[in-house]
């Protein structure tokens, strides 16, 4: 296995390409569509960098994977699928997210709550492959109900927002469907993986003179994570997480991100004037 990682500096998102070097088949995890909220304009530079790498290395893309419905960036899944193919997959917990958010945005006409806009909904424990690489899906809810971790060949895990850089801690749990209890239990599942397991991050927030942390071992997280290490009790974690979440505002791109990401990256149907629109519900955050 080879992993090629791309850091998007505006949203601090890390997109990973998992490559089976034997078959030259690959998968993309947590892609990004660039979005200028002030101008209400999206662009495809970040996604195009991923496409270029895949094409330059003569790879065949099999999957476009989401670790959850992101609230801080728009997924590039729809655009990637058009250009490099592959099936879009997400954890089956997405069904709970859709039931919560689709009525709020009033987008039932173009956001099926059945999840059919995704090619595959992975149950906990589901198995699939990327070329000759074996992938096991482990549901890791807590940040959102849809969060899932993808474990490749039982040696590497792509964990989404569940755990951050040890000096930052863990994901927040104050979104609808979030749960400190669930997140604690999910992280225990990750910590029960072998200490040598490599954890690939979805975000990092480095200082201007630092490189982003893209990967870390289970052992290092268990020893160093300031929010939840190997000795942290559930009550201690709930207290720390609650205090921290009370200081956090809503992510800047939460409203465009969630409604687009629930459609697997589609911007929605054009209106009679041939223009697409995103909805901004008022006084709901």
pLDDT of residue 123: 98
What structural domains and CATH numbers belong to the chain? 2-249 (3.60.15.10)
**Strand pairing report for 2-8 and 13-20:** antiparallel
3-state helix, strand, coil in the chain (%, to 5): 25, 25, 50
Helices (H), the chain: 45-56, 77-84, 94-105, 180-191, 218-224, 234-245, 254-261
Give me the pLDDT at residue 140, please. 98
Q: Is the pTM of this model over 0.95?
A: yes
Whole-angstrom distance, CA of residue 203 vs CA of residue 254: 15
Note the pLDDT of residue 285. 83
- Model pLDDT, residue 11: 96
3-state secondary structure of 26: strand
| Tokens representing residue 217 in the block | 């071992």
Which residues of the chain, if any, have pLDDT below 70? Answer: none
User: What pLDDT is attached to residue 284?
Assistant: 86
């Amino acid at each position: 296995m080879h992993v090629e990682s791309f850091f998007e500096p505006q949203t601090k998102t890390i997109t990973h390409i998992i490559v089976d070097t034997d078959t030259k088949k690959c998968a993309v995890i947590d892609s990004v569509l660039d979005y200028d909220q002030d101008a209400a304009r999206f662009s495809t530079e970040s996604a195009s960098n991923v496409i270029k790498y895949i094409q330059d290395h003569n790879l065949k893309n099999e999957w476009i994977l989401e670790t959850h419905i992101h609230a801080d960036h728009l997924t590039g899944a729809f655009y990637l699928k058009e250009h490099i193919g592959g099936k879009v997959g997400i954890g089956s917990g997405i069904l709970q997210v859709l039931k919560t958010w689709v009525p709020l945005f009033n987008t039932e006409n173009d956001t099926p709550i059945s999840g059919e806009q995704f090619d595959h909904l992975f149950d906990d424990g589901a198995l699939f492959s990327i070329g000759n690489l074996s992938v096991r899906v482990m549901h890791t809810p807590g940040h959102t109900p849809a969060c899932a971790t993808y474990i490749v060949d039982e040696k590497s895990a792509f964990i989404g927002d569940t755990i951050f850089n040890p000096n930052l801690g863990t994901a927040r749990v104050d979104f609808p469907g979030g749960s400190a209890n669930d997140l604690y239990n999910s992280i225990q599942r990750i910590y029960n993986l072998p200490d040598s397991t490599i954890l690939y991050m979805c975000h990092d927030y480095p200082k201007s003179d630092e490189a982003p942390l893209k990967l870390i071992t289970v052992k290092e997280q268990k020893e160093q994570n300031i929010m939840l290490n190997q000795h942290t009790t559930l009550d201690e974690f709930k207290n720390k997480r609650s205090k921290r979440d009370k200081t956090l505002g809503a992510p800047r791109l939460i409203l465009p991100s969630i409604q687009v990401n629930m459609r697997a990256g589609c911007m929605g149907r054009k209106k009679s004037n041939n223009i697409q629109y995103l909805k901004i519900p008022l006084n709901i955050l």
